[in-house]
Amino acid sequence: MRTTLDPTLDIVFKLLFALRANREALVSLLTAVLRPPVPIAEVHVLNPEINREQVDDKGIVLDLLVVLADGTRIDVEMQADRRSGFRHRVLYYWSRVFVSQLERGQPYTALRPVVCILFLDYVEFDTPHFHSTFRVLEGHEHFPFSNALELHVIELPKRNDPRGGARQEDADLLNWVRFLGAKTDEEVKEACMSNPAIAKANEYLTHLSASPSAQELARQRQLALDTYRIEMTAAKEEGLSEGEKKGEKRGEKKGRVESLLRILDRRFGPVPNATRARVMAADPSELDGWLDRAIDAPTLDAVFTAAH
């Protein structure tokens, strides 16, 4: 068992790495993810504060916005559970940070790159690699359109996956992943032995975990996130229940159709007519598969695309 506060809880992650005294650890973490050609000389956290409204708002993610000496902005976040629309939300957050740089009258050339770094305590991609990097590339020859957008997704549960064959350049990042995702004090101890910056971060985490105010913030945040999960589960069950009731009167297939459309409307907004027609024309086995994916799929299209 891990006796400190859990850094996979977004508020604990932000409290830990927003600390000015913990800049060495933040630089080490960013360096491990980005592997920059020159050392990161300076980092400045633009949003170190956490207000009460953010703690209780189950609909937001507590991110850490960092700016480097060259103006590059890095949005770092920890997410413990899968959320609907995850990939769209990431692009929205990226665009919001990107456009916020430009003031009236400034040229577009003043815009600096924005990098999103996403630590996930669940599996998002069907690949054994724990670190995935995304950029905008030309479809045939794969040259970059721009360096303005870069996304890094680090999946903590894959830290011990033997199929991953962690690349040598990811060795430092793997040690950080093992620290952040550790479930026992023994795992934490092993991670700390690999990197002095990780050991230092664990010292600060230990001090943070002894703080009554930090403990209360973590408790309130966990309560808000648990409430979100309960509400989403209830929405699914309500949709299924309504569909079952109607299914008794209108037939089994119609009940499934009603249930699926209710969930899709609630999760993604009004469903396009073409999609409604596809649902109504589907056979029961297709409907069952779509119902299973409807609550967790990141986009409407993903509901109808089976994972391989």
pLDDT at 303 over 70: yes
Show the domain range for 297.
235-303
Q: Give the confidence band of 145 by pLDDT, cuts at 50, 70, 90.
A: very high
Specify whether 50 is located in the same domain as 106: yes
Specify whether 174 is located in the same domain as 298: no
Nearby residues of 202 by Cβ (< 8 Å), 6 or more positions away: 4, 179, 188, 191, 192
Tell me, yes or no, whether 217 lies in a domain.
Answer: no
Q: What is the pLDDT of residues 226-244, one digit of tens each?
A: 876 777 666 666 655 665 5
Give mean pLDDT, residues 278-302: 82
Specify whether 149 is located in the same domain as 277: no
Specify whether 124 is located in the same domain as 251: no
pLDDT of residue 246: 53
Specify whether 85 is located in the same domain as 196: yes
Tell me, yes or no, whether 229 lies in a domain.
Answer: no
Beta bridge partners of 67: 44, 73
Specify whether 78 is located in the same domain as 183: yes
pLDDT of residue 260: 85
Q: Of 16-20, 42-46, 170-174, 252-256, where does mean pLDDT reach its minimum?
A: 252-256
Specify whether 153 is located in the same domain as 283: no
pLDDT of residue 249: 45
β pairing state of 64-68 and 43-45 = antiparallel
Q: Give the confidence band of 308 by pLDDT, cuts at 50, 70, 90.
A: very low
Tell me, yes or no, whether 2 lies in a domain.
Answer: no
Q: DSSP string spanning the chain?
A: ---S--TTSHHHHHHHHH-GGGHHHHHHHHHHHH--SS----EEES-----HHHHH-TTS---EEEEETTS-EEEEEEE-S--TTHHHHHHHHHHHHHHHTPPTT--GGGPPPEEEEEEESS--SSSS-SEEEEE-B-TTT--BS-SSEEEEEEEGGGGG-TTS---GGGHHHHHHHHHHT--SHHHHHHHHHH-HHHHHHHHHHHHHHT-HHHHHHHHHHHHHHHHHHHHHHHHHHHHHHHHHHHHHHH-HHHHHHHHHHHHHHHHHSSPPHHHHHHHHH--HHHHHHHHHHHTT-SSHHHHTS---
Nearby residues of 281 by Cβ (< 8 Å), 6 or more positions away: none
Tell me, yes or no, whether 227 lies in a domain.
Answer: no
Specify whether 73 is located in the same domain as 27: yes
Q: Give the confidence band of 49 by pLDDT, cuts at 50, 70, 90.
A: confident
Give mean pLDDT, residues 196-214: 94
- The residue among 210, 225, 260 that closes a domain is 210
Tell me, yes or no, whether 228 lies in a domain.
Answer: no
Q: How many domains does the chain have?
A: 2
Q: Give the confidence band of 167 by pLDDT, cuts at 50, 70, 90.
A: low
Specify whether 63 is located in the same domain as 190: yes
Specify whether 88 is located in the same domain as 160: yes
- The residue among 195, 210, 225 that closes a domain is 210
Specify whether 83 is located in the same domain as 19: yes
Tell me, yes or no, whether 113 lies in a domain.
Answer: yes
Q: What is the pLDDT of residues 87-118, one digit of tens each?
A: 888 999 999 999 999 988 899 999 999 999 99
Tell me, yes or no, whether 225 lies in a domain.
Answer: no
Tell me, yes or no, whether 118 lies in a domain.
Answer: yes
Specify whether 152 is located in the same domain as 63: yes
pLDDT of residue 85: 80
pLDDT of residue 238: 65
